[in-house]
Chain A
């Protein structure tokens, strides 16, 4: 039966009926494991279907099952062994006889099974909330806490620590342990981004399995014996692959912590905002942790269509520029936004068709690029973006270092090969054909338009976040927002349109690019029809072919986005 289910396309979902806390429920017979292969559904997953959470440390849906923490112990009832007639024992009324499991040598003591690695058997009864199960959990927690230090006050994990949570929820037993606690090394420098506190470790081996099977860098292991078990790297080799910080995420306790976030802020103060990583074209889903307009960390947000529950260290630490001191915060070239927009629109209206060029950035959102496209259509301006490439890896990092190259292509700002147009624009400036240049978020002096060429221009409008050689030459400098300071959407390399939300307030006078571009487009072309980012997105979705085909709306994007045809 199981083999049939595997080969069928699409597989008819075969179910098993089990009882959880006395209620019969039907659960799928097979469930995808960490690699996506269908394997028999486990007790823990059945309880999840029933809406009951089984506490666990070592089990992680995206890692191989290890079954070593024992936290998911539950008391279950099984059908009896088949008798000589080949039939299992039956009750008098003809139903299957279910016996609660007991220790074979001590029949008065209930026996538990680990929920994460016990497959379901038809008719099985799971006593997920019974006193027996509760006692097992208390005993396991007591055992885990034997050598656990009382470090909560100085531990970065406090507030999001599974040991704290389960101790409150399931582990109210009093410790019978009167001996000294075993002490292990603290504040061990495991690698450039990870700090280990061996005392706090519950030896769930999630980090080991992650490094070996997901990051494919078998760097971690357990050394020493018994109570002295410790996570360690091999002979002080640094733990420095590009995914190390994920181990701090999946560590259920405060054993592995991020050096970047170490002692920065207590987690319960952090406001969580759904966002996206802008480090490359993959577009990993993230959560920004911020407090009082200061960003403290990125955490990956689970999205199986993009990044799973992981993200790379490089992207995760790529946020410090947002809070930099030298951020552009003032409109330059005019007195305030209103004057600047009026003056620029006036000059653009007067400009001869074809005398304006637009250099956009593939770091801009779909909405901003769409507005720039409208402006370009009106002015008959050539447009281009600048390509950035790096090295791809086996897991998440993409070779395209711009977060929205696909969006720029779909909207028509850039052709198939992004960045080719810049040489043509440089030549046209030199020949005097292009007299005005609009630059968004790029330092064009690094990409083929020299400062001398910029001096030839009659009008140079630049919008950026941080100062550079191009912003210094600008006639009008419009300070923009980092992605954490505005809302918008990116289209990743696979065509996934995803939105990100606003976590921080922009510094000074800086405004979201789509807001002032909207005004500029309205003044220049007379087109309008929306007042919010939702309205803008919906208008764009009605005009850009790829988005139209999927009938995209801002609301329909949800938290995890929608994939469009490329």
Chain B
């Protein structure tokens, strides 16, 4: 059933439309003569207290607190690809912006010994992406992040680049693995799941049954 919407009956004064136009001009003119600066531009316009606009892209604005950034792949501190191609982000992505090509049998070996696999290709279509952050939330390997100052080595300029996510063709806006890794930067992984696992396994080849050392035990519980 379609819902019937009652139209507001306009008075004679309102139906003239001229007062509404005048109202609009009033807002524009008030900005034109205003000495107040927009909060967003305040920081950048300290030298010119009369300026309301920004000379983008020479001048860049301060990105608001709530901005999440765009999804990029990160490498660990040893420059290893963290993604293991589990494809959960591809599954959870609401606009289906992510597409992963799994390595297959003959794919390149994973950078980290124990991790066994990593994606052959990882595409994010930035035109499709809605920057919801589900991929980051679902990632079991902490390999994809919406780039913001979540990790060390965060670069203020980088974030601004995210805000102006531009390109001159559709193809250019489909970011591939290398580009995503380059933009994602380094994530300082404290858990080091695969490295630890490999070390443990290597140690066990020499000492099959070993009591864990108290120090290590504490570390693993963290």
Contacts and interface: CB of A to CB of B under 8 A. Distances in A.
Interface of A: 149-150, 152-154, 158, 178-183, 186-187, 228, 259-260, 262-266, 268-269
A153 B91 contact: no
Contact of A182 (B86, B115, B204): B204
B103 interface: yes
Contacts of B102: 263-266
A259 B104 CA distance: 9
B204 A158 contact: no
A228 B209 CA distance: 10
Closest 5 CB pairs of A and B: A183-B201, A153-B86, A266-B87, A154-B116, A183-B204
Contacts of A178: 212, 217
Given A152-B140, A154-B86, A154-B117, A262 B210 contact: no
A416 B114 CA distance: 59
Contacts of B200: 180-181, 183
A180 B116 contact: no
Given A154-B116, A265-B102, 7 more contacts: A149-B197, A153-B88, A158-B86, A178-B212, A181-B200, A259-B105, A263-B117
A266 B87 CA distance: 7
B91 A187 contact: no
B65 to A, nearest CB: 32
Most chain B Cβ neighbours within 10 Å, of A153, A266, A269: A153
Contact of A180 (B91, B103, B115, B212): B212
Nearest to A265: B102
Contacts of A260: 105
Contacts of B103: 263
Contacts of A154: 84-86, 115-117
Contacts of B201: 183, 186
B105 A153 contact: no
Given A158-B86, A180-B200, A268 B91 contact: yes
A260 B105 CA distance: 7
A150 B116 contact: no
Interface residues of B, number: 27
B57 interface: no
Contact of B85 (A149, A180, A181, A263): A263
Nearest to B139: A153
Interface string B196-211: 0100110010001011
B50 to A, nearest CB: 56
Nearest to A180: B212
Nearest to B221: A178
Contacts of A265: 102
B91 A228 contact: no
A198 to B, nearest CB: 11
B140 A153 contact: yes
A197 to B, nearest CB: 9
B207 to A, nearest CB: 10
Contacts of A152: 86, 140
Contacts of B162: none
Nearest to B116: A154
Interface in B91-113: 91, 102-105, 107
B193 interface: yes
Interface in B51-94: 84-88, 90-91
Interface string B133-154: 0000000110000000000000
B91 A266 contact: yes
A263 B105 contact: yes
21 contacts: A150-B193, A152-B86, A152-B140, A154-B115, A158-B86, A178-B212, A180-B210, A182-B204, A183-B200, A183-B201, A186-B116, A228-B208, A260-B105, A262-B104, A262-B105, A263-B85, A263-B105, A263-B117, A266-B91, A266-B102, A268-B91
Given A180-B212, A228-B208, A266 B116 contact: no
Nearest to A195: B105
Interface string B171-193: 00000000000000000000001
A177 B208 CA distance: 17
A216 B197 CA distance: 38
Contacts of B116: 154, 186-187, 263
Contacts of A228: 208
A183 B91 CA distance: 31
A183 B211 CA distance: 14
A297 to B, nearest CB: 13
A346 to B, nearest CB: 47
B121 to A, nearest CB: 13
Nearest to A179: B212
Contacts of A266: 86-87, 91, 102
A178 B219 CA distance: 12
A263 B102 CA distance: 6
Contacts of B91: 266, 268-269
Nearest to A182: B204
Contacts of A268: 91
A445 B88 CA distance: 50
Contacts of A181: 200
A263 B210 CA distance: 33
Interface in B110-136: 115-117
B193 A263 contact: no
A262 B107 CA distance: 10
Contacts of B86: 152-154, 158, 266
Contact of B84 (A153, A179, A180, A186): A153
Nearest to A266: B87
B86 to A, nearest CB: 4
A153 B141 contact: yes
Nearest to B86: A153
Nearest to A226: B209
A263 B104 contact: yes
Contacts of B217: 178
Contacts of A149: 197
Nearest to A150: B193
A390 B211 CA distance: 58
A269 B91 CA distance: 8
B107 to A, nearest CB: 6
Contacts of A182: 204
Contacts of B208: 228
